[in-house]
Structure 1
């Protein structure tokens, strides 16, 4: 069993990302308790790609009383789960329905009594207790620190433009495609989506209609150590011309939200033609964002896409958008 503590910014999208990666690990999500998502997977390492998450780990158990958690903890052979020193850390979620003030100390004392050494400042292993509708006990495998993603924000890239998806969201969009080999971004801009995909070990392809963006994306990809890429000048409404005879396992993209004064054609027409072009070259999943005032479901389904999921985000007072997951 695994657990994931997801971010609260777009929780339904975060849960869907966990499900997508759990599927890659030959498993799936079984349920959630506020921002804790849990499930099974044969290969839990698939979750190491997560974007919209604080951490993930091994789920030891769930309990409906503090007494049950303590009794269970007393019967666990902690030496089989803990490597080196340890610390127990608890998390009160907003729906916490138990009094857990000293529960971390009580569980820590049980583990310590088995001969394992406590280190509160720099432990080798973190034992986690989450309080929600139930009590959850786990062993952290990986924490996703914000500073790792902050270092890849648009203003930190050597070639920068102010409008770009946050790296965590870009990564989640790639993960929603279930890509295991490659991903295409036909509106790549400065390459934010491709940076996240490349850092996950995927081969990345990108096109942009502007040559300065293509050259800038190359600079950014190299800066972050992404080497397996193909980027070129190209039109998202004519992808086959840019990659003759090529089809793609997955597409993840964030088209521009501009007006007719900043786009090469009417915005809705651009979106429709781009979706048609993507449908021609796609083998699997598409993850894409559109402004909320664009009826993406009707347009995509008329082309042949199956719209599987969509997630709403209010960005600011003048922009709301949906993130979609589609399949050919």
Structure 2
């Protein structure tokens, strides 16, 4: 068993991102306690979990218990997968219903009695205890350092445009498509989604109607060491004429606002035409992850052109922008 601790800002989207990766790996989510997911999967799932964007960490789940006493009793009887020194760290979630104030010391003593050495400053292994409705203890395998994502935010790129998805969300959109080989962003802007897809080893394709964006997105991709890409200037409403192929997956964040950013076209009309164009070039069974403002019924319009809804996730960005992230299947 494994555990995944998801982030709390878009928890349902984070859960479904984990589920999408497990579907590729042959695993499944079997339990949830607030932000902690219990996962039935083996080591073959780890490369897919390494792709996650909206998660804090994952690890090996060793014990689940309904009380501190039960946890400590089970801890005495299990084999701890600890290499070198260790430290016990407690995560008290918002729904914690147990007194865990002294638990790190007590659990540390039990593990120490089995022959492992404690190192509180620089441990080789971090034992994590999560307190929610139940108690869950495991060993961290991977921590997703937020600094890695922060370094790829828009203002750190050589070609800078202020309106851009956070890299964590861009990564999640890529993963929600379940892409294995390739991904198309037909309204790529400065290339934020393509950067995340490219860093996962996917071949990326991008389109933008503005030539400066095509040049700038290429500059950004190369800045992060991504070379397996194909970018074209063109109209996202006519993708079949730009590429003589179908795509495994599509993810995009269309512009929301002015006539300038929408190339002089009416917003809702543009969105409808783009959905139809994406449907034309997506493989049967392929997925689209896309964002729309909350006042546009993306689900109804996507179903009209033949898409099947898979997921919808609300986000309030600020007082003048509320949006939904959608996942559709062709």
- The reply to whether TM is greater than 0.5 is yes
- Aligned partners of 1:23 and 1:41 also within 8 Å: no
- Aligned partners of 1:22 and 1:40 also within 8 Å: no
1:139 aligns with: 139
Deviations 1:269-308 (A, max 9, x none): 1111111010011121110000000011111101000011
Tell me, in whole angstroms, the C-alpha distance in 2 between the residues paired with 1:25 and 1:200: 15
Q: Is the partner of 2:180 in helix, strand or coil?
A: coil
TM-aligned CA deviation for residue 119 of structure 1: 1.4
Q: Is the partner of 1:108 in helix, strand or coil?
A: helix
1:254 aligns with: 253
Find runs of 4+ consecutive structure 1 residues off by over 6 angstroms.
none
TM-aligned CA deviation for residue 39 of structure 1: 1.7
TM-score (norm 1): 0.97
TM-aligned CA deviation for residue 259 of structure 1: 3.1
TM-score (norm 2): 0.96
- Aligned partners of 2:4 and 2:37 also within 8 Å: yes
Structure 1 stretch displaced more, 297-306 or 113-122? 113-122
1:104 aligns with: 104
1:153 aligns with 2:156: no
1:49 aligns with 2:48: no
Within 5 Å, which residues of 2 pair with 1:21-60? 21-42=21-42, 43-45=44-46, 46-60=48-62
1:298 aligns with: 300
TM-aligned CA deviation for residue 261 of structure 1: 4.8
- Aligned partners of 1:259 and 1:266 also within 8 Å: no
Q: Is the partner of 2:107 in helix, strand or coil?
A: helix
- Aligned pair count reads 325
Within 5 Å, which residues of 2 pair with 1:119-134? 119-134=119-134
1:228 aligns with: 228
Within 5 Å, which residues of 2 pair with 1:316-327? 316-327=318-329
2:169 aligns with: 169
- Aligned partners of 1:2 and 1:44 also within 8 Å: no
Q: Is the partner of 1:73 in helix, strand or coil?
A: helix
1:288 aligns with 2:287: no
For the aligned residue pairs, the C-alpha RMSD in angstroms reads: 1.0
Deviations 1:53-103 (A, max 9, x none): 11011111211011110011001122xx11111111110001100000111
Deviations 1:24-60 (A, max 9, x none): 1101112211111122124231111110111011111
Deviations 1:132-179 (A, max 9, x none): 000001111110111110000000101000000000000001000011
Q: Is the partner of 1:49 in helix, strand or coil?
A: coil
- Aligned partners of 1:3 and 1:39 also within 8 Å: yes
Deviations 1:184-212 (A, max 9, x none): 10011111001111111111111111111
Tell me, in whole angstroms, the C-alpha distance in 1 between the residues paired with 2:64 and 2:98: 13
Structure 2: runs of 5 or more not aligned: none
